[in-house]
Structure 1
Amino acid sequence: MDLHMHAPTQGNFENSCEFIKIEKPKLIAWKRHSKPLFQILATFEEIDAKQTRVTFKQLFETPEECEKLKKYVLDKNEENMDRLEEELKKMSQ
């Protein structure tokens, strides 16, 4: 899968990813083929009929790569989760 992320102030970012595992409705895993290289594991656990716990893990190629990107990744992932939460709220209205 190729996708293009558009940042309002920093331009466009090309991403090439491959879904490596999907287990409906519990898990989605994908591998990023464009730099920086990492894998994602997203799990979904139903808490009750209206709540789901989402766990999002990133596995980097090396500890050094993780440390280098940590200062960006934490904030950006939080922004993505906030956006997801807003979209889910819209869907439930």
Structure 2
Amino acid sequence: MAGPRQETRAEPATADREIVISRVIDAPRELVFEAFTEVRHLSRWWGPQGFTTATRSFEFREGGEWVFVLHGPDGTDYSEWIRWLRIVPPERIELLHGESRDDPNAFESDLTFAPDGAATRIVMRTVFPTKELRDEAVEKYHAIEGGRQTLSSLAAYVSDLARKGAES
């Protein structure tokens, strides 16, 4: 006789190295995805509240790179680098993000864009090389709150674009 059935749900092997942030954005998926593909859009919303973005170079294609500087509200500049690893329009973007091309602490992010009625659910899953680097990003750089603020800025930006498009 079989015993009681137990449901088990395995945590991903990377759970202690991950940050997962999601948000529903009141705009069509294609528009939300486009906001990630064109530098004219990215420079308008990328980064936490109070930060601005200055792009040095940008090539949105698999293997392409985005080199930019985040200017903090306190005047601190943060050199940033992203390599686009996989692009599946308008569903997914996978990227490697660090301070520079040779940053040994660079982390991977997987962004998914799913229709949610007329809106879009974006999920940003970031995996750090180690638990310690993840914890440092959370504690020292406020990565969770910064990620939420960044998606909030994206939501405001693309919702405004969608509204303006509907008015045209």
One fold, TM greater than 0.5? yes
What are the ranges of 5 or more consecutive residues in structure 2 without an aligned counterpart? Answer: 1-65, 164-168
Cα shift at 1:33: 3.8
After superposition, residues 18-29 of structure 1 pair within 5 angstroms as: 18-29=83-94
Which amino acid in 1 is paired with 2:111?
A
1:19-74 CA distance string (max 9 Å, x none): 000000100111024255211110001112x2111000111011111112123110
* Cα distance change of structure 1 residues 78 and 10 upon mapping to structure 2, 3 Å threshold: farther
User: What stretches of structure 1 of length at least 5 have no aligned partner?
Assistant: none
Q: 1:75 & 1:52 partners in 2: Cα distance?
A: 20
Identity %: 15
Q: Provide the TM-score with structure 1 as the length reference.
A: 0.89
Is 2:153 aligned against 1:88? no
More relative contact order, 1 or 2 (CA 8 Å, 6+ apart) = 2
**2: CA distance between counterparts of 1:78 and 1:55?**
11
Partner of 2:135: 67
TM-score for both structures, normalised by structure 2: 0.52
Aligned pairs for 1:5-84 within 5 A: 5-34=70-99, 36-48=105-117, 50-71=118-139, 72-84=142-154
Q: Give aligned pairs, total.
A: 92
